[in-house]
Amino acid sequence: MEMLGNVAKLFTFRSAGSPIRRNITATAKLSYIFKIEDEREFNDKVLNARTPVIVEFFAKWCNLCKMQKPKAEQVVKEFDGKISLAEVDIDETKEIKEKYGIKTVPVLAVYRDGNIVKILPGMHEADEIKQFIRLQLGE
């Protein structure tokens, strides 16, 4: 076995001595899709963001939220960093829910320059979410 510093073993050898290449894969959630844990993080990552942020207000018990979440994530990925998605669980961050008057879920809200620009309440299909984002980006 060959080691170079902290690099994991990339090759193993057969008894005949010919190397077998091993594929190493890693998956990571994109940096422009993130979960908000508290009000400080909301201020840092949403209100002070340099790019527009879609805030997805949701609850774990909400079935419509569970159906919309993968659609919102996929649409945001398609915009490739032009907009971020912040996921806010209203049961874990009640101070944010109360401060912004969120009374139902799911809700998508666009924040730009520290302000709410537009709110899209309820469950929506991917094409509706995409159109909503395009309008907010001026595309």
Do the domain assignments include residue 75?
yes
62 in active site: yes
As a whole number, the mean pLDDT across the chain is 84
Do the domain assignments include residue 8?
no
CATH code at position 102 = 3.40.30.10
Find the mean pLDDT for residues 65-75. 96
118 in active site: no
Contact (Cβ atoms closer than 8 angstroms) between residue 46 and residue 101: no
Report residue 119 as tokens: 């709110």
Q: The dihedral of CA 28, 36, 91, 119: what is its sign?
A: negative
Domain assignment of residue 92, given as a range: 33-137
Out of 65, 86, 90, 120, which one is annotated catalytic?
Answer: 65
Do the domain assignments include residue 108?
yes
**For residue 69, how many C-alpha atoms fall within 13 Å in the half-sphere facing its CB?**
18
Amino acid at 78: E
Out of 36, 46, 62, 88, which one is annotated catalytic?
Answer: 62
Q: Per the omega criterion (within 30 degrees of 0), is the bond before 52 cis?
A: no
pTM: 0.76
